A and B are shown apart, each in its own frame.
Chain A
């Protein structure tokens, strides 16, 4: 029941996104812009550009993800359907899950398109692509779930455009630290064992968020 309703709402989001063609393009463009601005900020003549890749990559994903999160509930707000979508037969959880999946899809595609761009701009290559991709996947899952939760909680709050990053970024700190560390370590050619701890940390974060977010969401939105 939960999965079926989630799928129904996700289908709806995909359709809305396909027709409005709004957020995704901007998210991608914004991500690209981030990389360019970071290049302006960090690249120095005579220094190895590749050293900046981990930071640029993860911070860009954090920032561009925010663009998507701020518009995640736009369709609900516009048509006044939030309460209707929250009160399905399986409660409010399908809405949260569908939004998290939507965000994951957007940020996942953004990442896949962005990664080669960053590598080309900063003249780098991935030493252990599988590990880095695994870290990116874990990072995006955590960001999508926690981001969807925070976006859902803040839908009716004043100044939410300002508050969302203010709340989300410190909460995402473990993922960003671990993600950057993993990328740095793989670039430095560290053995896989050195990364296990970091991957476990990301896994732990994702597990925590996946378990608690639906519960917290239900406690807040279901009166």
Chain B
């Protein structure tokens, strides 16, 4: 069964369409890589799929239900995003950030082992407690990845997730992605990173507002 479905999605900026008639069906336990030139509308498409932007045309459905009919709170528990902004409070430590966002989505559930999660994404325990303002881009990205992991979402929409990550970080990201895919997550990855391309079950290219299967070079 299709988990996330885009039907005839269109998106316009300043009265001009960037995305037109986008059709996309994402299945559980798959990883789809999305490529496209800068300004092709990859980020906008991810935001529309996540329900944080309303498309000018068409609709997005999660498990057959149109996004506007799903309570935003429920949506946030199902769909996780990672994009250019880290989505972290810079004055809080990595540990506090992960705990806070977990608690906002799953209040009252068992206390999350945030430290283990952060160690998992390769943050040394001495970095767990200091404000993330002092973090490098790669460390921020790792912390953000831990936040996404903690959300427990089963649809992952990632925009250039390997930005700032070193070789080890990339390998770790690939590892995490493979693991959550095996657990049944639906993953859509907008990236140009050659290191992540081999993970793809399917590759799509966004060109002139339109999705098509990418020619594998």
Contacts and interface: CB of A to CB of B under 8 A. Distances in A.
18 contacts: A1-B107, A8-B100, A8-B103, A12-B100, A15-B91, A15-B96, A16-B91, A19-B91, A19-B131, A75-B90, A75-B91, A79-B90, A80-B84, A81-B87, A88-B73, A89-B77, A90-B73, A222-B72
Contacts of B101: 84
B33 to A, nearest CB: 23
B interface majority secondary structure: loop
A16 to B, nearest CB: 4
A92 B72 contact: yes
A78 B90 contact: yes
B104 A8 contact: yes
A20 B91 contact: yes
A interface majority secondary structure: helix
A199 B214 CA distance: 68
Nearest to A223: B54
Interface string A69-83: 000000100111101
A16 B89 contact: yes
Give the 10 A-B residue pairs with the shortest CB-CB distance, closest first: A80-B85, A87-B76, A16-B91, A88-B104, A19-B91, A89-B73, A87-B72, A79-B88, A222-B72, A79-B90
- Interface residues on chain B, size class: 20 to 34
A219 interface: no
- Interface residues on chain A, size class: 20 to 34
A85 interface: yes
Given A5-B107, A8-B103, A223-B51, A86 B72 contact: yes
A197 interface: no
A112 to B, nearest CB: 25
A91 interface: yes
Contacts of A9: 104
A4 interface: yes
B106 interface: yes
A118 B72 CA distance: 47
Contacts of A91: 71-73
A81 B72 contact: no
A207 B85 CA distance: 37
A129 to B, nearest CB: 37
Interface string B66-90: 0010011101110000011111111
Interface in A3-47: 4-5, 8-9, 12, 15-16, 19-20
Contacts of B88: 79-81
Contact of A88 (B76, B83, B92, B108): B76
Contacts of B75: 87
